Amino acid sequence: MSTDTLNSQLLKSALSFDSDVHSARPLPDRLKFSLGSAESSEPASDNGTKPRDPSAAPRPPRHATRTVPTRRPTVVPPRTTVAKPAVPVKAAEDDDTKAKKVPINPADAHVLVVEDNVPNFVLVARLLAYMGIPRCEWKTSGWQVVEFADTLPRIDLILMDIRLPYEDGFQALEKVRQNDRLKDTLVVAVTAEASVEQINKAKASGFDGFIAKPLDPDRFPEQIRRVLKGEDVWDLT
């Protein structure tokens, strides 16, 4: 093939290609929109992401941890203890009236019975013996009770009747309390004059207990045991 023939064919092919381009169908709108958007978009950065506007606020990182505000610990003020006012202590009374009575074992007790009625004394003596009390002395009147007691080696308890000849039980008790040797001795009133007024009078006079007559044989031993222990016995019945 000659050179002229080859050039003629190439020219026809170029003209045919140009005619096809100009006669091509127009692109759809969606493609134009896509192309237009692509053309108008900002150029990508080197790493393929869209560059940010420097004036815009910084975005938080994708995996940023939310910061929870910590609550300030509540400070509890210490409790203040208010001291209670001290209770005033009563002045100590006389040692003679506040001295504690040492419990006495009935097997070691020595008892003086001041009683003018023989049957009453016999009953008391038998009940005391039943309790195991080894020694029981008898005086029939309140007169010279202290003198008689001074002749005894030991006296732990005096059972005193109130209605006595010559001197009653209150007068005899007064002399007993004035004696240095007998002033702390237990003295219990044993009388048929049983009343609240008589008990109050016995307490005010300095008796250590009160047992009413007639005596109860079932209760009397226990009453004497309580007296020897230093307990209060003020029985009207």
What does the block give as tokens for 180?
């240095």
Q: How many CB atoms lie within 10 A of CB 171?
A: 15
pLDDT at 70: 60
Instruction: Provide the token pair at 5.
Output: 């023939």
Question: Residue 68: its pLDDT value, please?
Answer: 55
Mean per-residue pLDDT of the chain:
76
CA distance 141 to 52: 129
What's CA 201's distance to the chain center, in Å? 42
Placement of tokens 């010559």 in the chain: 166
Let me know: does 224 contact 199? Beta carbons within 8 Å. no
pTM: 0.59
Q: What is the pLDDT of residues 124-166, one digit of tens each?
A: 999 999 999 999 999 998 888 899 988 999 999 999 999 998 8
* Spatial separation of the C-alpha atoms in residues 167 and 69, rounded to whole Å: 97
What does the pLDDT read at residue 81? 59
DSSP 8-class letter at 178: H
Residue 237, pLDDT score: 78
Other Cβ atoms closer than 10 A to 162: 23
The DSSP 8-state label assigned to residue 105 in this structure reads -
Predicted local confidence at residue 32, as pLDDT: 47
Please identify every stretch of the chain with a pLDDT value under 70, giving residue numbers as ranges: 1-100
26 Cα distance to chain centroid: 101
pLDDT given for residue 90 in this prediction: 43
pLDDT of residue 94: 46
Q: What is the pLDDT of residue 216?
A: 95
Q: What is residue 214's DSSP assignment?
A: S
CATH superfamily of the domain spanning 109-235: Response regulator (3.40.50.2300)
Beta bridge partners of 111: 136, 157
User: For residues 59 and 57, what is the distance between their CA atoms, to the nearest angstrom?
Assistant: 6
Report which of 114, 99, 95, 218 is spatially closest to residue 157, judged by C-alpha positions. Answer: 114
